[in-house]
């Protein structure tokens, strides 16, 4: 769990029969290390959850690690149902996502 001033990011690792605890710990520790080193504002899973409220609300923008396939699908579904523009731009420190209302 990484606690920041405006958000908390939670990462997990799952054990399995015969899987060494060291491997579980490594799998749980690598994603938060990469997230902190990457400098994005939100983790990939929070990015997915922010899209709909931003599309319904006033819009906005954030940076995130590369989008998950689920987030990419979410973007396409939102575009089909709401009059918004969602721009996804790859940058050196991650991915910038901008959500804006389309003027009519």
Among all residues, which ones are annotated catalytic?
70
Cα separation, 12 vs 29, whole angstroms: 8
Cα separation, 60 vs 69, whole angstroms: 21
Cα separation, 83 vs 90, whole angstroms: 23
Cα separation, 61 vs 89, whole angstroms: 11
Cα separation, 15 vs 104, whole angstroms: 52
């Amino acid at each position: 769990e990484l606690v920041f001033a405006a958000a908390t990011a939670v990462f997990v690792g799952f054990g399995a029969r015969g899987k060494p605890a060291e491997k579980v710990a490594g799998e749980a520790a690598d994603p938060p290390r990469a997230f902190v080193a990457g400098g994005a504002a939100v983790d990939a899973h929070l990015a997915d959850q922010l899209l709909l409220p931003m599309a319904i609300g006033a819009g906005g923008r954030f940076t995130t690690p590369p989008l998950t396939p689920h987030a990419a699908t979410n973007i396409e579904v939102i575009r089909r149902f709401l009059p918004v523009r969602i721009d996804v731009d790859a940058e050196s420190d991650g991915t910038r996502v901008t959500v804006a209302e389309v003027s009519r």
